[in-house]
Structure 1
Amino acid sequence: MDIQRHIQHVFQDRDDIPLFYIESGSRLWGMASPDSDYDVRGFHLPSKAQYFDYQKHRDLIEIMDGDFDFVSFDLDKMFGLLAKSNPTVLEWVRAHVVYFNQFAGWSPFVDGLLAKIDYKALYFHYLSLAKGGMSVMQTPTNFTYKKVFYSIRGLLSAELAAKQQMPALKITELFQQITPNDPLRQWGEDYLEIKQQQREKALLSELEQQAVTRLLTNKIADLTAHEPNKGPHAVALQRYLTDYSFQLKQHYYG
């Protein structure tokens, strides 16, 4: 799929200014299936007329066209989430699959941003994802290899965040950050072989379900006992984003 062409098509009849777009979700994490959608995410500046208008306008653009799933936040919404160390948009700025980038000085911006984030926000986000996945798996027909794997990704990411370490986005690199004898890492690495055999949606046997549930529950208990402290950089992060917002708007709006 020609993602650049699709992005250009989104903005061809709009006066908004596209800034930065990446691949998100399973393709970014190295967990995609052959039929996975292209989850394109990023942010834009609203048109000059919209920016100076006294009326409030919608702060995102959403397009669903076949396998092309596109979401774009305006700059204020994007930076507002970054100011809270929102883990979802932090994955966007860290993405290695970049389709479009008109953000001047991107690499230095990201380096400065990541030096100021609150790891506690990442910890709770990934832990919540894992718990949510476990809740879904309480229904026997939902206890699939894929859902277990997503919970494992969340727990391993939360473990690293608790240690003030940035969890890798690509799943194989995430495993390398975890001790080799960790049973959840071992289960996850075995899952990759299952995925290659196109059996990711298969249900686990009852014995496997019980064993995996114990592993996930034990990891959650351990993580809950090691909750990280809130980061000290909240004010510095807000100032940092304010400065970049001013520079971008001054450049594009004059």
Structure 2
Amino acid sequence: MHSRILEQLAALEETNAVKILFACESGSRGWGFASTDSDFDVRFVYARPASTYLSIKEYRDVIELPVDEVLDINGWDIKKALKLFYKSNAPFYEWLQSPILYKETTDLRQTLLSLMDHYYSPRAACHHYLSMAHNTWTNDLQGEQVKLKKYFYVLRPLLACDWIAMGKGVAPMEFKDLRTTIEDNKVQKAIDELLIVKMKADEKSVWHADPRLMDWIGEKISTLRAQSAEFQDRPPIAIDSLDAVLQKYVNV
């Protein structure tokens, strides 16, 4: 599959006359709880020729391929990516931390990793993660039988928000790191059991409502909603460093 992904990325570069600066895994494979039939969520950042950034012509800032059962590939123009980085966009901060890299032709990712703490907004990130967790909890985990993967779609963002609320900084992408904040051994055991099943199951598998997790999730959401309401906005930060990044990498 790695070879197929590289072929697709090379074709995108040629077809769109762009250079991919880095490409990574952004989904369950990167989070660390893929099912047997999980697709590959490939995300990338690209740069167009430098002259196009000086043109009055409007260019699309997203490149995407039609999604199939195996591959989901799309990427952002570097200018779009840097704007979202400035806004502390949580998904993009995860891309930068992904343990699975498919392609890396520059040190853009390392450059942004070094700037991440400076531009990070705990308030924006926590609100993003808490909204994800609450919506999935409300819409997908209220029955006696629920989709197995939905447990993790609540647990991961909830733990990311908890990480931030504890003052630990940028939330890591990988689930194994996030779950280190859980002190309740019963919850840890329930997650261990769930992970074993998840790794052997497919994306459509269902599981019973586990009271150990359901009670903990409900209480944690309530606690974090109260805590996140106290977060202050990040003060304005100069964009000079990101302008310099843009100017450097559109000339690669």
Q: Bin the TM-score by the shorter chain.
A: 0.7 to 0.9
Q: SS where residue 231 of structure 2 aligns? A: coil
Q: SS where residue 44 of structure 1 aligns? A: strand
State the AA in 1 paired with 2:143. Answer: P
**Offset, 1:25:** 0.6
Q: So what's the TM-score if we normalise by structure 2? A: 0.86
Residue pair 1:149, 1:191 contacting (<8 A) in 2 also? no
The aligned counterpart of 2:155 is: 152
The aligned counterpart of 2:73 is: 70
Residue pair 1:136, 1:142 contacting (<8 A) in 2 also? no
Evaluate the alpha carbon distance shift between residue 175 and residue 246 of structure 1 in structure 2; reply closer, same or farther with a 3 A threshold: same
> What is the root-mean-square deviation in Å for CA atoms of aligned residues?
2.5
Separation in structure 2 between the aligned mates of residue 70 and residue 131 of structure 1, nearest angstrom: 27
**Offset, 1:147:** 0.8
Residue pair 2:119, 2:237 contacting (<8 A) in 1 also? no
**Offset, 1:98:** 1.1
Q: SS where residue 15 of structure 2 aligns? A: coil
The aligned counterpart of 2:222 is: 221
State the AA in 2 paired with 1:40. Answer: V
**Offset, 1:45:** 1.2
Residue pair 2:97, 2:172 contacting (<8 A) in 1 also? no
The aligned counterpart of 1:31 is: 33
Counterparts of 1:55-94 in structure 2, within 5 Å, are 55-64=57-66, 66=68, 67-94=70-97
Q: So what's the TM-score if we normalise by structure 1? A: 0.85
Identical counterparts, % of pairs:
24
Q: Size of the alignment, in residue pairs? A: 247
The aligned counterpart of 2:139 is: 136
Evaluate the alpha carbon distance shift between residue 200 and residue 180 of structure 1 in structure 2; reply closer, same or farther with a 3 A threshold: farther
Residue pair 1:43, 1:72 contacting (<8 A) in 2 also? yes
Counterparts of 1:100-115 in structure 2, within 5 Å, are 100-104=103-107, 106-115=109-118
**Offset, 1:232:** 4.2
The aligned counterpart of 2:177 is: 173
Higher alpha-carbon deviation: 194-203 or 82-91: 194-203
Of structures 1 and 2, the one scoring higher in RCO (CA 8 A, sep 6+) is: 2
Separation in structure 2 between the aligned mates of residue 7 and residue 203 of structure 1, nearest angstrom: 34
Gaps of 5+ in 2: none
Gaps of 5+ in 1: none
Higher alpha-carbon deviation: 101-110 or 51-60: 101-110
Separation in structure 2 between the aligned mates of residue 120 and residue 91 of structure 1, nearest angstrom: 16
**Offset, 1:226:** 1.5
| Cα shift readout 1:113-157 (whole Å, capped 9, x = no counterpart) | 234311111111111111111122266387223212220111111
Residue pair 2:37, 2:202 contacting (<8 A) in 1 also? no
